[in-house]
Amino acid sequence: MKDDPLFYLIVLAVLATTLILVTGIGGFARGGAWNRKHGNRMMRWRIIAQAVAIALILLYVWLRG
């Protein structure tokens, strides 16, 4: 697993998804102009990043399974 570049790509995708999620939740918690301007965009980016992460995980399982 440590020598597999696909594994590191999965870790990067999961971390990106987590970062986007935390940023979006923080924006919702603060409210205000930033949330009105970027809130929906952040959640759309989270859905895209999450879909990519899930697709990579499924690809990894399929290739190694």
**Residue carrying the six token digits 């952040």:** 42
21 part of a folded domain: no
How many domains are contained in the chain? Answer: 1
pLDDT of residue 63: 93
Range of the structural domain that residue 45 is part of: 40-64
17 part of a folded domain: no
pLDDT of residue 2: 73
15 part of a folded domain: no
What is the tens place of the pLDDT at every residue in 3-55?
889 999 999 999 999 999 999 999 889 888 888 898 899 999 999 999 999 99
Extended strands (E) in the chain: none
* Spatial separation of the C-alpha atoms in residues 40 and 44, rounded to whole Å: 6
pLDDT over 80 (residue 65): yes
49 part of a folded domain: yes
pLDDT of residue 43: 92
pLDDT of residue 3: 85
